[in-house]
Amino acid sequence: MSAVLYQIYQRSFADSNADGIGDLRGIIGRLDHLEWLGIDGVWLSPVTRSPNADWGYDVSDFCSIEPDFGTMEDLDLLIAEAGTRGIRVLLDLVPNHTSDQHPWFLDSRSSRGAARRDWYVWADPKDDGSPPNNWVSSFGGPAWTPDPGTGQSYLHNHLAEQPDLNWWNEEVRAAFDEIIRFWCDRGVAGFRIDVCNVIIKDAELRDNPVATEDDDFEAQLFGQRSVYNTNRPEVHEVIRRWRSLVDDYREPLILLGETPVPLSELSHYYGNGGDELHLAFNFPFISASFECGVLREIVEQTEASLPPGAWPAWTGSNHDMFRFPTRWAGDDVRKVRLALLMLLSLRGTPVLYQGDEIGLGNTKVEHADMRDPLGVRYWPYYDGRDAGRTPMPWRGVPGGGFTEPDVRPWLPLGDVAACNVERQRSDPGSVLSLARTLIAVRREEPDLRTGSYRSLAAPDGVWAWMRGDRHFVVLNMKDTRAVVPHLDGTLRITTDGSRLDEPVRGELALAPWEGVIGATTTR
């Protein structure tokens, strides 16, 4: 629980065989970077075979390795090599849907009487030929696609190429037990579970209520409140089943859920007495604006609502939500540093996304280069998710150290000269050096690793909290200087690297967008 996790979007991490696509051997070649940074565990986006309608999130074989990424031996080697560096490997489990090319779905759609017909959600269209109910896909458009062969429609909460499994079916549950065991037996440390809150749908497939003007942004966008196709109470039964399955392993395994739910729901995903997820991603936090009052409120509400013993997870970027250095910080390096200090000093598990450690911002991807199906479908109204998925810049050379100089990467590189690992590694004042120091101090200090969180009174625009008995964290989240009264102690880390070991006597002055961690002697 005191770990620092790191998401690897491997298609864009490191390319070992010069085909422009990141791969497992590429990750092995960069493990030293992760060890040097102080990372305890990595989550890999899906490594399994996929026709790539949604870049790996449309799985056609759950117990395989996508050839673009390498072989099963490469994964075994990655787990072993990471292990020798004290880094554990989590895989992405995608239980809500499969690829439409998965043999299960090919069988299911072959006839109404097929052995696996009931493994997916099939329903008759209405008499007028319209979809069985009003549900919309979270990728837009109806959540149903008619299948002329059998005259019924199948459900898909995402692309039509991603048919949803029927989690009421015991055989589906048993098949996933086997998949989970398969990977656990290979030595993975656990799973990030894709759209964990969505997998089970209303058994009667009732229409969602139409949104009213009082509903939230998402309901307004979809025109309905997704009460019957997400967050069904029965999902918890499935998560409890997975939890008891992984608890049977000798090594502690981690279930980290993708849980895009309101804060009022989040705590339920930890279960009663800790019998569901170990960690649940906090979407209100990642989706919030980078404002003191807004973030503090979310953190305080999270702290107040989680059951005893539950451990939060904090993240600023991922392959869907873009990179926080642009989204939150507007590429202002003071704010990037402040956000890193925040992520790494809240109570909970920080999950960094590749590139966060160097303050990498979004990369503009032109229409002709777009690869995300959502960008391709909705451009020019929406550019899709590619801007946060471009390759990792390792060095300021052609190919960025991601691939060979003469190879065209699957998505374009950004300005690799402006922001890259190699240059920041040799600069003690860089964002990368700050990230590494923050992780190192966190490792050393039980207060920062596992200590409690308690908000401190602070002037407007300043967010201050205690961790454990002795450590204070103060963030000045505004354009003007701030003075925080009633603090005594010594500064241990500051966002710009200056003022180390400076004593604080009675009050602490902070520059605009400066953040500090200090140790107090009097509190």
Positions marked catalytic: 194, 258
Smallest distance from the beta carbon of 94 to ligand NOJ, in angstroms? 6
Please state, in angstroms and rounded to a whole number, the distance separating the CA atoms of residues 497 and 510: 13
| Residue pair 411/432 in contact by the 8 Å Cβ criterion | no
Smallest distance from the beta carbon of 138 to ligand NOJ, in angstroms? 8
Q: Which two tokens stand for residue 169?
A: 């079916």
Please state, in angstroms and rounded to a whole number, the distance separating the CA atoms of residues 322 and 325: 9
Which parts of this chain interact with Ca ion (CB under 5 A)?
Answer: 15, 17, 19, 21, 23
Residue 57's binding partner out of ligand NOJ, Ca ion, none, with CB under 5 to 8 Å set by partner kind: ligand NOJ
Rg (CA), the chain: 23
Residue 195's binding partner out of Ca ion, ligand NOJ, none, with CB under 5 to 8 Å set by partner kind: ligand NOJ
Q: Contacts by 289-296 with C-beta closer than 8 Å and gap 24+?
A: 289/328, 290/324, 290/327, 290/328, 290/329, 290/335, 290/339, 290/477, 291/477, 292/460, 292/461, 292/462, 292/463, 292/475, 292/477, 292/478, 295/342, 295/463, 296/455, 296/463
66 binds ligand NOJ (CB under 6 A): no
Residue 320's binding partner out of ligand NOJ, Ca ion, none, with CB under 5 to 8 Å set by partner kind: ligand NOJ
DSSP three-state, residue 516: strand
> How many helices (H) and strands (E) in the chain?
16, 17
Smallest distance from the beta carbon of 288 to ligand NOJ, in angstroms? 19
Smallest distance from the beta carbon of 400 to ligand NOJ, in angstroms? 23
Q: For residues 416 and 475, which CB has a smaller minimum distance to Ca ion in the complex?
A: 416
Residue 404's binding partner out of ligand NOJ, Ca ion, none, with CB under 5 to 8 Å set by partner kind: none
Please state, in angstroms and rounded to a whole number, the distance separating the CA atoms of residues 277 and 240: 8
Say which residues have a Cβ less than 8 Å from residue 64's Cβ, sequence separation at least 6.
48, 49, 72
Smallest distance from the beta carbon of 66 to Ca ion, in angstroms? 11
Helix (H) or strand (E) holding 247: helix 235-247
Residue 276's binding partner out of ligand NOJ, Ca ion, none, with CB under 5 to 8 Å set by partner kind: none
Q: Cβ-closest residue to ligand NOJ?
A: 57
Q: For residues 229 and 424, which CB has a smaller minimum distance to ligand NOJ in the complex?
A: 229
Residue 201's binding partner out of Ca ion, ligand NOJ, none, with CB under 5 to 8 Å set by partner kind: none
- Residue type for 271, please? G
| Residue pair 363/390 in contact by the 8 Å Cβ criterion | yes
Q: For residues 91 and 435, which CB has a smaller minimum distance to ligand NOJ in the complex?
A: 91
Smallest distance from the beta carbon of 516 to ligand NOJ, in angstroms? 34
Site for ligand NOJ in 77-106 (CB under 6 A): 94
> Which of 33, 88, 116, 158 is in the footprint of ligand NOJ by CB under 6 A?
158
Please state, in angstroms and rounded to a whole number, the distance separating the CA atoms of residues 346 and 451: 9
| Residue pair 388/323 in contact by the 8 Å Cβ criterion | yes
CA distances to 217, 261, 292 from 221, in Å: 6, 16, 27
Q: Which two tokens stand for residue 214?
A: 């009082």
277: left (phi over 0), alpha (psi -120 to 50) or beta: beta
Smallest distance from the beta carbon of 490 to ligand NOJ, in angstroms? 42
Q: For residues 158 and 327, which CB has a smaller minimum distance to ligand NOJ in the complex?
A: 158
Smallest distance from the beta carbon of 252 to ligand NOJ, in angstroms? 25
Q: For residues 319 and 327, which CB has a smaller minimum distance to Ca ion in the complex?
A: 319
> Which of 100, 161, 194, 422 is in the footprint of ligand NOJ by CB under 6 A?
194
280 binds ligand NOJ (CB under 6 A): no
Q: For residues 49 and 158, which CB has a smaller minimum distance to ligand NOJ in the complex?
A: 158
Q: For residues 23 and 422, which CB has a smaller minimum distance to Ca ion in the complex?
A: 23
Binding string, residues 229-268; x marks residues near ligand NOJ by CB under 6 A: -----------------------------x----------
Strands 349-353 and 313-314: parallel
> Which of 43, 57, 62, 120 is in the footprint of ligand NOJ by CB under 6 A?
57
Please state, in angstroms and rounded to a whole number, the distance separating the CA atoms of residues 269 and 259: 8
Residue 286's binding partner out of Ca ion, ligand NOJ, none, with CB under 5 to 8 Å set by partner kind: none
Q: For residues 3 and 195, which CB has a smaller minimum distance to ligand NOJ in the complex?
A: 195
Please state, in angstroms and rounded to a whole number, the distance separating the CA atoms of residues 404 and 17: 9
E strand segments, 299-419:
313-314, 349-353
54 binds ligand NOJ (CB under 6 A): yes
Binding string, residues 303-342; x marks residues near ligand NOJ by CB under 6 A: ----------------xx----------------------
Residue 35's binding partner out of Ca ion, ligand NOJ, none, with CB under 5 to 8 Å set by partner kind: none
Residues that bind ligand NOJ (CB under 6 A): 54, 57, 94, 158, 194-195, 258, 319-320
